[in-house]
Amino acid sequence: MASEFQTGGECPNQCVRGTQRPDCSCHCPPGWTGLECNTPSTGGDTWRIPELGMCTKTCMNGVVNPATCTCLCYPGWTGPTCSQLSRAKRQANCACPGNGFTPQEKQALVDRHNFHRANVNPMASDMTRMVWDDDLANCDAQAYANRCIWAHGTVDLTGCPYDFSTPQYRGQNLFPYPAFTAHKPHDIAKMVVDSFYGEVQYYEYLLNKCATGKHCGQYKQVVWAISNRLGCGIAYCSTGSPFEQIPNWWNVVCHYFPVGNYMFQKPYINGDGCSRCPEGTGGCTPDKKLCITAYECKINPSACGDHGCNKQCVNGYISSATCMCMCHLGWTGPLCDQPICVKHCGANANLNTETCMCICKQGWTGPLCDQKVDCTKNCGANGNLNTQTCTCICNQGWTGPLCDQQTCTKNCGANGNLNTQTCTCICNQGWTGPLCEQQVCTKNCGANGYLNSQTCTCICNQGWTGTLCDQQICTKNCGANGNLNTQTCTCICNQGWTGTLCDQRVCNKQCVYGTLDSQSCTCNCFPRWGGALCDQYLGGGCSKRCIHGYLDYPRCTCVCQPGWTGPTCNKRECPNNCVRGTQRPDCSCQCPPGWTGLDCNTPSTVCQKNCGPHGTLHVPSCTCRCEPGWTGTLCTKRLCTKTCMNGVVNPATCTCLCYPGWTGPTCSQRE
């Protein structure tokens, strides 16, 4: 039996931080051990990249940036090796913006991420399960979404430094969507996450490569194994739209922690599910696909259940026998994440025991809040004082040096809600206008009338009535030989009668040498012929002389040459038809009042309406009668019935606006 480690075959170990030997074993650099050189042999995190040489830096509370051989510290830590406490998580006088997603939508966003993470191909051995993080969502993602900018970046709230406010701490995915109403799209969570994940079609896992000219970053962030906290925000925007001719749009921003998409790294390690869970965990979801992190166990202990010890000791090591953290000197707490603090803040501050920092009272500053701030500014009830800069940080809807000026006093009434950031009204469905005071009218008057948008009523063309101008006004008289169908304005004739007015007898008689009188159902015979069917020759000759034609002797009639007419072909045919007039002897037309032209077919009245290529002018009423599929007073508005498979219809142009990743006239083709 041949060895499974054949030359040219795949090795089961990936040597994440080492080099591959011919026998498929890994040669690990200093500071690393294990089958794949993925387990630190000392405290902290180290890294090696063959192209850049050996980096032996140890990051106590962070990870190594292999590109620069520097430490990227976890929130709350700083220093060259991430060993020094940094700022508090949030200042006491800062408030995060409210999140635009409902609790149900937040859970749907988490569930859809975990669905794709659990079903990656090839399977992941170290994929962690994501959980929602309110700080990421509200203080970072929502704050950035509110800026209404279609570009990657960070949020900078003056006086409010947050742990996730710099790019090295978190990843960022963006999703825009055209807003035809102020109501969020249905199933927005699935739409957003599936759009991110859709880039998988361009990514090659084995080569860790994206197709030329394509983007894979958002897909890789969704399935980045160690990114286990998610926070998203959504904002309705009227500026910065990425869609042409559509000013209003939804801006969705999702942030991830820890950040993914490091250079030279694959998003996860291929292998059996939960076979390489990060150190400090060990629990796994029931389907054996996702690792449960210590952070999830901390915020939701019931998530761990009997699936193993999921603790991750931040500043200590875990006892496998008791599943308890043994803390380093100066640290305490179940996860060794609480510093033992002996700082004394005095009477001018309160101690934050979690961060071991002093929260100063108004008028005081300094590490121990023992430095008086010469600031007597009063920000009132509409803002908070930043004692370090002696400036007011105003609440939403207020501005000015003392936060005493309201930014917007617009009244949207009962039909809309005020967006205080943009001072615009977001109207309820069925309403429009600057103050949501105009009702949106969707009535369709069809081809027999036009819409009065002010009153939302149909103005019917002559001969039509009804609320939608779909009932024809009928004055037809069917007489004694039929009955009127008022819905279709047609005569239903009695047996033996026909014609539009039921005034013609049904007659099957054929006159051989004569013409049929349909009223009396009798034959009018040509000269020298008789009988009921004009088929009896009466004798005698025919003395008729045809001037410009030849004689049909049996019928004793003249067959005229082209351009001549009359019983003896002695009258010249006129080129004009005199549609609405009478013919003069010289072939000219005598037109009635209101008409002119060679054939009396041109209106001489004031109506100058142009119905274009999709309608005809009805002169008496001076209105346009539109072809099927067109409407409007001048037949210029197309009735749109387009269906977009993976997008939405732009009613202005009757074209499809495709979701990201789709193209084609009906958004049915993948980019």
Span 112-161, pLDDT tens digits: 999 999 999 999 999 999 999 988 898 889 989 999 999 988 765 544 54
Residue 208 to residue 216: CA distance in whole angstroms: 10
Query: How far from chain centre, in Å, is Cα 113?
Result: 19
Mean pLDDT of the chain: 80
Q: Provide DSSP, 545-585.
A: --TTEEEETTTTEEEEPTTEESTTS-EEPPS---TTSEE-T
Angle at 399 between CA 394 and CA 401, to 5 degrees: 85
96-105, 273-282, 607-616, range with the lowest pLDDT = 273-282
Q: What is the reported pTM? A: 0.40
Q: How does pLDDT run across 623-640, given as a tens digit for each residue?
A: 898 988 888 888 988 788
Half-sphere exposure of 382 (CA within 13 A, CB side): 13
Q: How does pLDDT run across 10-33, given as a tens digit for each residue?
A: 455 566 666 665 555 666 665 566
Q: What's the pLDDT score for residue 606?
A: 62
Q: How does pLDDT run across 205-230, given as a tens digit for each residue?
A: 999 999 999 999 999 999 999 999 99
Contact 27, 16 (CB under 8 A): no
Q: How does pLDDT run across 351-370, given as a tens digit for each residue?
A: 887 677 888 887 788 888 88
CA distances to 145, 235, 440 from 409, rounded to whole Å, are 24, 21, 24
Residue 440 or 230, more confident: 230
Q: What's the pLDDT score for residue 551?
A: 81
- pLDDT value at 415 more than 60: yes
Q: What's the pLDDT score for residue 5?
A: 22
Question: How many residues belong to the chain?
Answer: 671
- pLDDT value at 39 more than 90: no
Residue 315 or 192, more confident: 192
- pLDDT value at 34 more than 60: yes
- Residue 446 is given by DSSP the state G
3-state secondary structure of 219: helix
Asked if the peptide bond before residue 575 counts as cis, ω within 30 degrees of 0, the response is no
13-22, 417-426, 570-579, range with the lowest pLDDT = 13-22
Q: Among the ranges 14-23, 296-305, 344-353, which has the highest mean pLDDT value? A: 344-353
- pLDDT value at 615 more than 60: yes
Q: What's the pLDDT score for residue 55?
A: 66
Q: Among the ranges 89-103, 571-585, 655-669, which has the highest mean pLDDT value? A: 655-669
Residue 260 to residue 276: CA distance in whole angstroms: 18
Which has the closest alpha carbon to 222: 117, 315, 323? 117
Contact 404, 410 (CB under 8 A): no
167-181, 403-417, 539-553, range with the lowest pLDDT = 539-553
- pLDDT value at 93 more than 60: no
Q: At what angle do helices 103-118 and 188-197 cross, to 10 degrees?
A: 30
Strand 229-237 with 131-132, pairing: parallel
The residue assigned the tokens 């006093």 is 409
- pLDDT value at 309 more than 80: no
In the structure, what pLDDT confidence band is assigned to residue 311 with cuts at 50, 70 and 90? low
- pLDDT value at 40 more than 60: no
Mean pLDDT of 291-295: 84
What kind and span of H or E run contains 358? strand 357-360
In the structure, what pLDDT confidence band is assigned to residue 83 with cuts at 50, 70 and 90? low
Q: What's the pLDDT score for residue 8?
A: 29
CATH class of 98-306: alpha beta
Q: What's the pLDDT score for residue 89?
A: 46
Maximum alpha-carbon separation in the chain:
144
Q: How does pLDDT run across 457-474, given as a tens digit for each residue?
A: 899 998 888 889 988 888
Q: How does pLDDT run across 234-269, given as a tens digit for each residue?
A: 999 999 999 989 999 999 999 998 888 877 789 999
**Positive or negative: CA dihedral 478, 484, 490, 495:** negative
Q: What's the pLDDT score for residue 14?
A: 65
3-state secondary structure of 373: coil
Q: Torsion angle of alpha carbons 634, 638, 639, 642, nearest 10°?
A: 180
Which has the closest alpha carbon to 258: 196, 131, 169? 169
Q: How many CB atoms lie within 10 A of CB 144?
A: 24
Per-domain residue ranges of the chain: 98-306, 309-339, 642-670
Query: How far from chain centre, in Å, is Cα 503?
Result: 62
Contact 365, 388 (CB under 8 A): yes
Mean pLDDT of 270-278: 88
